[in-house]
Amino acid sequence: MKALQLFLLAVLTVVATGLETSQGRANDSKEGLGIVHYQPEQVHLAFGERTASEMVVTWSTRSLPPDLQVGMTTIVEYGLLEASGQSKLSQTARGTATKFVDGGRKKATQFIHRVTLRNLKPNSTYVYHCGSSYGWSSVFQFRTVPEASADWSPSLAIYGDMGNENAQSLARLQEETQRGMYDAIIHVGDFAYDMNTEDARVGDEFMRQIESVAAYLPYMVVPGNHEEKFNFSNYRARFSMPGGTENMFYSFDLGPVHFIGISTEVYYFLNYGVKSLVFQYEWLRQDLAKANLPENRRERPWIVLYGHRPMYCSNENDNDCTHSETLTRVGWPFVHMFGLEPLLYEFGVDVAIWAHEHSYERLWPIYDYKVLNGTLTDSPYEDPGAPVHLVTGSAGCKEGREPFKGKIPDWSAFHSQDYGYTRLRAHNRTHLHFEQVSDDQNGAIIDDFWLVKSKHGSYLH
Ligand SMILES: *[C@@H]1O[C@H](CO)[C@@H](O)[C@H](O)[C@H]1NC(C)=O
Ligand SMILES: *[C@@H]1O[C@H](CO)[C@@H](O)[C@H](O)[C@H]1NC(C)=O
Ligand SMILES: *[C@@H]1O[C@H](CO)[C@@H](O)[C@H](O)[C@H]1NC(C)=O
Ligand SMILES: *[C@@H]1O[C@H](CO)[C@@H](O)[C@H](O)[C@H]1NC(C)=O
Ligand SMILES: *[C@@H]1O[C@H](CO)[C@@H](O)[C@H](O)[C@H]1NC(C)=O
Ligand SMILES: [Fe+2]
């Protein structure tokens, strides 16, 4: 009797294990492919909570590798690149995989793997690959940034609105990344067009495309309107920004700059609830107040904020920025609650970078439609009386370029329809340099300016 019970128990266990395994090996049969696909792909990096010593590696597998069922076995193997040019992947960091189900008709499933590398040596080059015994990615490398010191000069490439089709700037960005020109990339919303299109296949393809830069450099992001489907689910699932807000808003420090990324979309997609808007606004006020504590502003005097939809633009279309009462600028209609421009002004934000318009535009320092140039003759960007706004949404996408109005307003300093991207180099505590690269003109710099400040802080006094 006892023997029979044991026998039955054993049979049940085997059956249960078998069921679990076949579930775990979810395969592509829904797609009609009938294959199991464990190969790591779509590898990309982000700064961790500690910018100089943590890096988050994120990647995807179509199926869940079988050994993941027994615990946290998703792995990054990494090691310092020695001066000799040798490197051993001698260290191992472990993380978790989560299941992501797209909201489309096919409910396409994939597994997103995240591993945080901690206690990295600042200002050092690391070599890594990710995966496990089920399959490894290629070997990539990245460089950590120096310690929070303001005594180094970070360089970034910044743009928005880059799609899967017509990602015109990507080849140049890849080349420049591999030449070591940048410490990070900021993509100011609107990816792939759209990540959820064709049951998230377009998102997969886009993430494979940007691997050519994003596996080598922190690829920092904020959401745009093209991420909206299914409550931003593709966007939330695929990236790994710091801050614990599923990539909606966060800040990080780089040399003499405090960067803040926000979601402008919480002002527009109220169908997903107003909670996110209020939560972000309160967070932003606190983050700005903290960045303005005397010891913080002394160490990192620059505050650069980025979000997808501009407060101002001179384009010829019906987007919100072509109207005077932009929701992000003045807040809700009539009651004017949660407007962001007063915050930028009160807390002395130096630069506000936007995208959404598929063009580039630079403004004179501006607050509430008043140009507040610096007081020195011919130096509008030397100790200006208001933030400087840039719109850089021309990286390239299938929607093409955005035309400008026939008559450009007085507050607009420069505009261009060329495809391209913006470079920012924070030289030191007093000098920021911006360049606009035209990909149409073979990488020519079509606009550049210095923002110079002898003192930073609120514009109120
Ligand atoms: C894939 O799943 C289908 C049904 O879900 C199953 O019939 C098939 O055997 C599976 N293939 C593999 C390789 O696991
Ligand atoms: C970073 O390392 C390089 C050498 O690889 C060195 O020249 C540079 O001074 C270091 N920067 C800082 C801020 O430590
Ligand atoms: C959308 O996501 C946000 C943030 O997670 C959540 O607060 C909100 O309830 C969601 N909205 C809907 C309609 O599901
Ligand atoms: C700001 O400076 C620019 C460049 O010198 C100039 O063209 C513009 O008229 C100035 N605007 C105001 C309001 O002073
Ligand atoms: C800051 O950088 C600018 C531009 O490179 C340079 O002219 C200036 O002397 C630097 N200031 C300090 C204090 O190093
Ligand atoms: Fe957009």
Q: Which domains does the chain have, with CATH numbers?
A: 41-143 (2.60.40.380), 149-452 (3.60.21.10)
Per-residue pLDDT band at 334 (split at 50, 70, 90): confident
Taking the centre of ligand 5 as the mean of its atom positions, its distance from the CA of residue 428, in whole angstroms, is: 6
429 phi and psi, to 5 degrees?
-70, -15
Instruction: Round to whole Å and give the CA distance between 36 and 62.
Output: 8
Mean pLDDT for the stretch of residues 199-206: 97
Bond preceding residue 199 cis, omega within 30 of 0: no
**Relative to the alpha carbon of 272, which ligand is closest?**
3
CA geometry: angle at 41 spanning 39 and 46, to 5°? 140
Cβ(121) – ligand 2 distance below 6 Å: no
* pLDDT tens-digit readout, 174-189: 999 999 999 999 999 9
3-state helix, strand, coil in the chain (%, to 5): 25, 30, 45
Mean pLDDT for the stretch of residues 341-357: 98
**Relative to the alpha carbon of 410, which ligand is closest?**
4
User: How many residues are recorded in the chain?
Assistant: 461
Closest residue by CA, ligand 5 atom 12: 428
* Mean pLDDT over the full length of the chain: 91
Instruction: Round to whole Å and give the CA distance between 442 and 418.
Output: 11
Taking the centre of ligand 2 as the mean of its atom positions, its distance from the CA of residue 112, in whole angstroms, is: 34
Pocket test for ligand 1, best of 21, 23, 25, 27 (most atoms within 8 A of CB): 27
Going by the DSSP 8-state scheme, the letter that residue 144 receives in this structure is P
Owner of token pair 């923002």 = 451
SS3 state of residue 32: coil
Taking the centre of ligand 2 as the mean of its atom positions, its distance from the CA of residue 218, in whole angstroms, is: 19
Across-strand partners of 392?
Answer: 360
Full-model pTM: 0.90
CA geometry: angle at 394 spanning 389 and 399, to 5°? 130
Least confident window among 62-66, 230-234, 248-252, 370-374: 62-66
Nearest residue to 220 via CA among 373, 68, 58, 335: 58
Can you give the pLDDT at residue 72?
A: 54
Tokens of 203: 């998102």
Q: Is the distance from CB of 80 to CB of 125 less than 8 angstroms? A: yes
Mean pLDDT for the stretch of residues 354-372: 98
Can you give the pLDDT at residue 67?
A: 66
Can you give the pLDDT at residue 20?
A: 34
Per-residue pLDDT band at 347 (split at 50, 70, 90): very high
Longest dimension (CA), the chain: 100
84 has a pLDDT exceeding 90: no
- Where residue 5 falls (left for φ over 0; alpha for ψ -120 to 50; beta otherwise) is alpha
Taking the centre of ligand 2 as the mean of its atom positions, its distance from the CA of residue 82, in whole angstroms, is: 15
Alpha helices in 152-292 (DSSP H): 170-178, 201-214, 229-238, 275-291
390 phi and psi, to 5 degrees?
-125, 145
Taking the centre of ligand 1 as the mean of its atom positions, its distance from the CA of residue 235, in whole angstroms, is: 29
Instruction: Round to whole Å and give the CA distance between 415 and 84.
Output: 47
Tokens of 389: 């706004």
Atom of ligand 1 nearest to the CA of 25: 14
Taking the centre of ligand 4 as the mean of its atom positions, its distance from the CA of residue 380, in whole angstroms, is: 7
* pLDDT tens-digit readout, 17-70: 333 333 344 444 455 455 668 889 999 999 999 999 999 999 999 888 776 664
Per-residue pLDDT band at 352 (split at 50, 70, 90): very high
* pLDDT tens-digit readout, 131-156: 987 789 999 999 999 987 778 999 99
**Relative to the alpha carbon of 230, which ligand is closest?**
3
Cβ(229) – ligand 5 distance below 6 Å: no
Per-residue pLDDT band at 85 (split at 50, 70, 90): confident
Closest residue by CA, ligand 2 atom 12: 146
